[in-house]
């Protein structure tokens, strides 16, 4: 599926669109939806996943983003679609105000406990895989690629060191469901919130677990066992686990869980 017109030309949009194509591949392989499914998008970023869910599956989407600049892009990118509702707030296990970290030069990055070292690593991975010695063309292009890598590294440093703090309201997933989805069944919950997926799941009340049919989420290594246990306790089985597109140390895996039959 081609990148939507709403995302074309925006910084980072091509990378983000490539990322959500992995969601689409896994959903098409492992899940099946009713007509016009209901999907909650936790960690909406600039709207790539929300647009994919609506355009590909004709879904009603609730897309939730906490970072203020990123949310502004999400809202703008999805404004033409009445079946996409955007919500500016953080999702966690409790209701309170929390501190997030944002990167004004890279609106798609940031979050709770967003360390400069981790962001530097993620940015570095964008160019590291492009350096190769496997052909004569690669060798001839090497000086230009090295120069590009150096320039990118300086820009990445600028992104990392202009990090800012932001206060934002945190609510639970059950709060969102109570307000926006009433008694509707929920076909899919997608979660990508930089290592805080466990807290998002902990904010679901038992009656809402029963209304959810499937999850797709990025799961970070420090929470894998707790996430798997919680999903199993609430009647979900794991149908797929694979590495995310950005491979390397501390990079999460994509997990899909479906309600047991």
| Whether residues 145 and 223 fall in one domain | no
The pLDDT value recorded for residue 249 is 44
Same domain, 251 and 194: yes
* 6 found inside a domain: no
Q: What's the CA gap between 46 and 63, in Å, rounded? A: 10
Q: Do 173 and 250 have their domain in common?
A: yes
Enclosing domain of residue 148:
115-161
Share of the chain above pLDDT 70, in %: 79
pLDDT at 205 over 90: yes
Write out pLDDT tens, residues 14-39: 888 988 998 999 999 999 998 899 99
Residue 55: predicted pLDDT: 97
pLDDT tens-digit series, residues 101-152: 777 766 666 665 555 566 656 666 655 554 445 555 555 555 556 666 667 6
Q: Say yes or no: 28 and 58 in one domain.
A: yes
- What is the predicted pLDDT for the residue at 119? 64
The overall average pLDDT reported for the chain is 84
Q: Confirm whether 110 is domain-assigned.
A: no
Give the mean model confidence (pLDDT) for residues 221-242.
Answer: 94
**Once rounded to an integer, what is the mean pLDDT over residues 179-208?**
94
Q: Are 140 and 227 contained in the same domain?
A: no
Do the Cβ atoms of 257 and 237 come closer than 8 Å? Answer: yes
Residue 228 counted as domain residue: yes
∠ at Cα 157 (152, 159), nearest 5°?
A: 95
Angle at the Cα of 212 from the Cα atoms of 255 and 176, rounded to 5 degrees: 100
| pTM of the shown model | 0.82
The C-alpha R_g of the chain, in whole angstroms, comes to 19
Closest Cα partner for 209 from 239, 189, 191, 180? 189
pLDDT, position 69:
84
At residue 248, the pLDDT reads 44
Answer whether residue 247 shows pLDDT above 70: no
The answer to whether residue 192 scores a pLDDT higher than 70 is yes
8 domain-assigned: no
Between 239 and 153, whose confidence is greater? Answer: 239
Determine the pLDDT at residue 223.
Answer: 86
Strands 214-219 and 164-171: unpaired
Based on the fold, state whether residues 62 and 156 are members of the same structural domain: no
What is the model's pLDDT at position 250? 47
> Does residue 76 sit in the same domain as residue 184?
yes
Does residue 245 surpass a pLDDT of 80? no
């Amino acid at each position: 599926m081609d990148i939507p017109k709403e995302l074309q030309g925006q910084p980072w949009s091509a990378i983000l669109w490539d990322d959500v194509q992995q969601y689409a591949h896994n959903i098409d392989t492992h899940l099946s939806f009713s007509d016009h499914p209901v999907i909650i998008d936790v960690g909406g970023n600039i709207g790539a996943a929300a647009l994919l869910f609506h355009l590909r599956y004709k879904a009603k989407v609730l897309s939730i983003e906490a970072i203020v600049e990123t949310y502004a892009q999400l809202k703008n990118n999805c404004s033409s679609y009445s079946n996409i509702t955007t919500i500016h707030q953080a999702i966690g296990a409790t209701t309170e105000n929390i501190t997030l970290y944002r990167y004004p030069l890279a609106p798609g990055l940031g979050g709770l406990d967003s360390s400069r070292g981790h962001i530097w690593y993620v940015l570095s991975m964008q160019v590291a895989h492009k350096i190769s010695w496997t052909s004569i063309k690669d060798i001839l292009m090497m000086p230009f690629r090295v120069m590009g890598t150096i320039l990118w590294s300086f820009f990445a440093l600028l992104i990392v060191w202009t990090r800012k703090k932001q206060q934002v309201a945190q609510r639970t997933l059950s709060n969102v469901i109570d307000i926006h989805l009433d008694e509707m069944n929920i076909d899919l919950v997608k979660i990508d919130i930089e290592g805080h997926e466990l807290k998002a799941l902990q904010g679901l009340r038992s009656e809402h677990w029963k209304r959810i049919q499937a999850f797709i989420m990025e799961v970070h290594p420090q929470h894998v066992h707790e996430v798997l246990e919680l999903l199993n306790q609430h009647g979900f089985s794991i149908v797929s686990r694979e590495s995310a597109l950005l491979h390397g140390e501390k990079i999460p895996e994509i997990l899909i869980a479906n309600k047991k039959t």
